[in-house]
Amino acid sequence: MTGVHILIFPYPAQGHMLPLLDFAHQLASRGVTITILVTPKNLHLLNALLSVHPSIGTLVLPFPANQNLPAGVENVKELPPDGFRHMMRNLRELRGEIVEWFRRHPSPPTAIVSDLFLGFTNDVAAEVGVRRYVFSSSGAFALSVIYSLWREMPKRENPNDDGEVLRFPDIPSCPEFPWWQISPVYRNYADGDQNDEFFRECFLANILSYGLVCNSFTELERVYFKHLMEYLGHDRVWAVGPLLPLEKGQAERGGLSSISTTDIISWLDSCQDNSVVYVCFGSQSILTNQQMEAIALGLEKSGVRFIWSTRGPTKGHVEEGYNSIPPGFEDRVAGRGMVIKGWAPQVLILQHQAVGAFLSHCGWNSTLEGIVAGVPLLTWPMGADQYTNAILIADEHRIGTRASEGDETVPNSDELAQILIDSLSQEGKGVEQRERALHLRQTTMDSVNKGGDSFNNLEDFVMHLFEEASKM
């Protein structure tokens, strides 16, 4: 089979970009010709992939200048508050250059696969006469809520009540969320900010796109995948996850750590099985110093062994009261705890037998990595799709415990300490959650291995691409 060339366009944020690059690896391994659109500052994230698949091409386009962003900013790690929205608008300015590249390319792509936040590429695909497929780095449950919000446009009755509950009766399990847990982009729009019309257009374009590829797996979200197919009115929905990272370069996958991977693994090797809590709130969450202190006190009072991966002080946040480790904390817990400032090799840590629980913000990548490792999660969702993910973990599959919720909440350190202790318990709830987590892990691996649902869906998607290309 020949003739399939796709343009892959990731959104330049680590949590969005890395799973789409993992998907590119799967497609390249199956004979698909690929070009990846990337901005200069994020080109290095392709190094491991390109070393394995040197045939993959790159389309490097300068990040569009915009007065709302500091000069030189083109990845989310450097964005100011509210930067996500500005980033989405800026990337739309690449439309003309993408169309021109298609028209002058001797063998232009036969399809576009682009991130959920790049809905404008559906218009690009229509203009150049190819199909566009949405890649979702969120799960099917979260996506069901996102699509419902932007198409149905529910509003709160009392514009001053942030606790007013929105209900989604057409989605399985009829989820409901207080207004403050709804995406701030949507809240701004629903409250009358018509400057955000672009975002509704973006998500409606996703709904209209030819197909959907989702980094999840059928057994985890079966009812939600069925719902999405009914909602979209077609079955061109492929659950291909969890997309596992390349082994090559895995330790340096997201950046540099303040502690070497060798030292981290050596320390874990010295710990008993299921005796360590791993604490990490992802690459984007910014914690107040009060939250940092509550976590530190909870860890200290619990007496558990732990690894705490924190962003550490970032420019502009230390002075404002964010991200600071309490003075003296590291000295007081020396020996039984490890604090990693900056990026941590999360996949390798979670898969170590010493790790028995994961205190997480429930970002989808972290959720999947915990599931793949068979580690129960202690949930503290703070925004975006994290509230739906926490429901999936704690309520539906019961492989986790609610620890806290909200980006402004400061948990009680005594209660947090007890949750940490219980999560590593060798009896009762802790054992039951570990058993369920290990069972789900096995289900996950069955799905991605040859003959499993995700494996077969990948094969089917590639076959679909070739069939569509043959019609052109």
Question: For residue range 116-140, what is the model confidence (pLDDT) as tens digits?
Answer: 999 999 999 999 999 999 999 999 9
Q: Tell how strand 400-402 and strand 176-178 pair up.
A: unpaired
Question: Which residue reads 């010709």 in tokens?
Answer: 33
Residue 258 is predicted with a pLDDT of: 75
Query: What's the pLDDT tens digit per position in 225-234?
Result: 999 999 999 9
Residue 69 is predicted with a pLDDT of: 58
d(CA 452, CA 449): 6
Residue 190 is predicted with a pLDDT of: 86
Q: Is the per-residue pLDDT at 468 higher than 50?
A: yes
The second-level CATH assignment, the architecture, of 257-446 is 3-Layer(aba) Sandwich (3.40)
At 322, the pLDDT band (50, 70, 90 cuts) reads confident
Q: Is the per-residue pLDDT at 266 higher than 50?
A: yes
Q: Is the per-residue pLDDT at 50 higher than 70?
A: yes
Residue 154 is predicted with a pLDDT of: 93
**Mean pLDDT (whole number) for 160-188:** 94
**Mean pLDDT (whole number) for 335-361:** 94
**Mean pLDDT (whole number) for 157-181:** 95
More confident site: 184 or 398? 398
Q: Is the per-residue pLDDT at 110 higher than 90?
A: yes
Query: What's the pLDDT tens digit per position in 238-262?
Result: 999 999 887 655 555 556 667 899 9
Q: What is the mean pLDDT of the chain?
A: 90
Residue ranges of the chain assigned to CATH 3.40.50.2000: 5-246+449-470, 257-446
At 1, the pLDDT band (50, 70, 90 cuts) reads very low
Query: What's the pLDDT tens digit per position in 388-417?
Result: 999 999 999 999 999 999 999 999 999 999
CATH for 5-246+449-470 (3.40.190.10, 3.40.50.2000, 3.40.50.300, 1.10.274.10): 3.40.50.2000
Q: Is the per-residue pLDDT at 369 higher than 70?
A: yes
